[in-house]
Structure 1
Amino acid sequence: MSLSRTLKVTVKTSVIATAIAMSTFTQANSLKPAINASKQINQSAEKSQQKIDSISDDIQTRLEQFKAINKEIEGLEIYNKQVSAQISDQEATMQDINDSIDKISVVERQVMPLMTRMIDGLEQFIALDVPFLKEERSERIASLKKMMSSAGSSPADKFRRVLEAYTIELDYGNTIEAYTSTLEVDGVERDVDFLRVGRVAFIYQTKDGKQSGVWQADKNEFVALSSDYRTKITKALRIARKQLAPDLLSVPLLTAKNVAAE
């Protein structure tokens, strides 16, 4: 190819490239506003999406709170029903208690005189009974009388105490007991050992074992015993104090009338 032809082709290519470049630059300048607008739209859409996401999260949070509150309300409704049932039951119980109190007032008016008569009867019984543990039994009666005039004890407690006193007196008839106290013997106050076998025998023996006697109800006094009973009474005292194993006792009874001192 000749030089002139080559120069023509080169010049023509350069012109075409320049034209394309100018056309591209022109197109770029003409598209720039559209690109900027597209960017703004994208930015606006992004912000809108962020707002939508935030609103969605807020709605979801509120929905969870709503569900939780609904569950709490359901629980409270169930609890309220249970409490209402309990209140109704308590009101019924209170009514029963009030009715019982009214009845107790009536019963109390009847029981109080009964307990007073029971205490008086027990006091008379002790006065006529074998004179063992005289101070202890008299103090028990005095305590019961004091209790009856006390406002600090309920009728139920008073009645229980009266029954306990009767039980104690009943047990005396089924037990054997030995204790030490004082007794006037031949005009002299002496320390003696008392032996009680139920209510069938009440005997004393001086500490030296030289004198002894048995209570006779028909004479309302102690009657002296002969020295023949000394060993038997000593053995019975030791059995009563659990110093010897239980064994058959041979002692004079309260009904004995012909026991004479030797």
Structure 2
Amino acid sequence: MPMQLRTRNILAAAILSAGVVLGATAADVNTAIDKGVSRVNSAQASQQKIDSIDNSIRAAEREYRGVVKEVDGLKVYVEQLDKQLAAQDNELAGIEDSIEKVTLVERQITPLMLRMIDSIDQFVKVDVPFLVDERSKRVEGLKALMGRSDVTVAEKYRKVMEAYQAEIDYGRTIESYRGTLDGREVDFLRVGRISLMYQSLDGNVLGVWNSAAKQWEMLEPAMKSKLMAGIRIAREQAAPDLIKVPVAAPQEAK
């Protein structure tokens, strides 16, 4: 049964009962019923409107709380970003300072490396003449390297230091290698930088470099066995042992 009809019946029954007691007329009863129904309908409409407004308010409140929560989260996120930006600014300032220092170091170290290469070049020319081609090519390679823009200063410095280390190692190692001397193929024996000797492949010609005179000198045949022993040791064909080598007499420093 519809709500309005049910309400009307209930009101009608109540008013009829009252009308009987009070002796009211039928017209009065109908009028009272209509007014009651109107008031009930108005009350229902008002309640529905109130319920609708209440639902809207609750929805708006939930949305507001969600927005407030999101804003709080954004505030925390923005604060964290501000901290990161501050840290990045400090790091950027440090990087810029390092770049300036690197640029200054590069301007200072490049002339130094050029002087170091010239020193190696001059040293090779006045040193004991062993592996002359190899050592000269190393120096020329360093000079060419310094002119390249695609190689970093750090790499250039590393190559220069490698060349210096190689020259240092020559002074404390023993080595035998094959080469040519005056158009003749010979076996050289280098003992550090204190002695550089050679013998022809047939073993009949022996020689030693005289550092004082800056020239090769012949060795007596008695040195052949000692020279051969040194060559075998240098080539790791014999166990390390003491050997006698000719050494130029020390000169008085000027």
2:237 alignment partner, one of 236, 239, 243: 243
8 Å CA contact 2:187–2:201 kept in 1: the answer is yes
For 2:70 and 2:109, how far apart are their aligned partners in 1? Answer: 61
* Structure-2 change in CA distance of 1:96 and 1:183 (3 Å): same
Partner residue in 1 for 2:8: none
RMSD: 3.5
2:16 alignment partner, one of 26, 40, 49: 26
Partner residue in 1 for 2:78: 76
1:34-71 per-residue CA deviation (whole Å, 9 max, x = no partner) reads 35642553354145314412330232122222221122
Pick the structure with greater CA Rg. Answer: 1
1:169 alignment partner, one of 164, 167, 178: 167
Partner residue in 2 for 1:60: 62
Partner residue in 1 for 2:94: 93
Which region of structure 1 is more displaced relative to structure 2, 27-36 or 49-58? 27-36
Give SS of 2:193's match: coil
1:26 CA displacement: 3.2
For 1:247 and 1:120, how far apart are their aligned partners in 2? Answer: 37
1:233 alignment partner, one of 227, 234, 246: 227
Partner residue in 1 for 2:201: 207
* Structure-2 change in CA distance of 1:35 and 1:245 (3 Å): farther
Q: TM-score, normalised by structure 1?
A: 0.69
Mark the runs of 5 or more structure 2 residues left unpaired by the alignment: 1-12, 19-25
**Matching of residue 125 in structure 1 with residue 126 in structure 2:** no
Q: Which residue identity does 1:93 align to in structure 2?
A: G
8 Å CA contact 2:117–2:143 kept in 1: the answer is yes
**Percentage of pairs with the same residue:** 35
Which region of structure 1 is more displaced relative to structure 2, 174-183 or 110-119? 110-119
8 Å CA contact 1:202–1:254 kept in 2: the answer is no
1:204 CA displacement: 1.6
1:2-28 per-residue CA deviation (whole Å, 9 max, x = no partner) reads xxxxxxxxxxxxxxxxxxxxx879349
Q: TM-score, normalised by structure 2?
A: 0.71
Partner residue in 2 for 1:8: none
* Structure-2 change in CA distance of 1:32 and 1:71 (3 Å): same
1:160 CA displacement: 4.4
Partner residue in 1 for 2:191: 197
Partner residue in 1 for 2:138: 140
For 1:53 and 1:97, how far apart are their aligned partners in 2? Answer: 64
8 Å CA contact 1:147–1:158 kept in 2: the answer is yes
For 2:226 and 2:42, how far apart are their aligned partners in 1? Answer: 129
For 2:84 and 2:119, how far apart are their aligned partners in 1? Answer: 54
1:139 CA displacement: 1.1
